[in-house]
Amino acid sequence: MSLLRDVKRLFAVMLAGVCGAIVLIDFAGGEGALAALATLLVGWAAVLTAVALLFGIVSVAGHHVGRVRQQQNDWRYSLVLLVGMVVMLVAGIFFPLPGRGGLVLPANLAEVPIRTVFRVVYEPVASSLLALLTFFSLSAALRSVQQRRGEAIVMIVVAALVLLAQLPLLAVVPTIGGTLQWLNDVVAVAGARGLVIGAALGALVAGVRVLLGFDTPYLDR
């Protein structure tokens, strides 16, 4: 009854449900006017996403500019963030034309220099962060083993077997190499597929709840 009394909320729920249903039906095989309408809605969503991203960038930049101006705690990190934002924006929007000079809009994000920035800066930093996860994972595993929980022991054993399957020395031994390869190709892949299926089902349930109006994230509720 509260939904029926709140006209603005009812309109938002109906609009979200109708738009979601149109895109979902088109994904299942819509044609003609329905497909054109779904394409239009997806285009509008892309534009709104870009505008929201722009406002988010401006908000984050303004916040960190204030931190740098007031020289708050760890303001140097804010300065590094601002410099990185400017470098990536310039690299993503402009790039020099070989032999002709000047700056033009790149055709895609794979053009130079943004590709060079990704390879030189982003990829090494991302690899370093992933390498640090090894120590955090090892610490978490040791704490889990100390609690003597069965699930933790199973996780540690499976993780150790998967890591052993990556060693080239053990792969030379016929029996051990074949067993480890089977664990890597069958058991590990089965677990990964289970995670993907579970995530897909969760996303499906969340989408259905939004379409039916049970969850209204667009109303901040």
- pTM tops 0.85, yes or no: no
Q: Give residue 197's pLDDT.
A: 94
Convert the pLDDT of each residue in 1-53 to its tens digit. 455 666 777 777 788 778 888 888 887 776 778 888 888 888 998 999 989 99
Cα torsion 189, 195, 199, 200: sign: positive
Classify 97 in phi/psi space as left (phi over 0), alpha (psi -120 to 50) or beta: beta
pLDDT band at 108 (very low <50, low <70, confident <90, very high): low
**Residue 105 carries which side chain, given as an amino acid letter?**
L
Domain spans of the chain, in order of start: 147-207
Could you count the other beta carbons within 10 Å of the beta carbon of residue 67? Answer: 19
Q: Give residue 59's pLDDT.
A: 93
Strand-pair partners of 95 = 104
Q: How many residues does the chain have?
A: 221
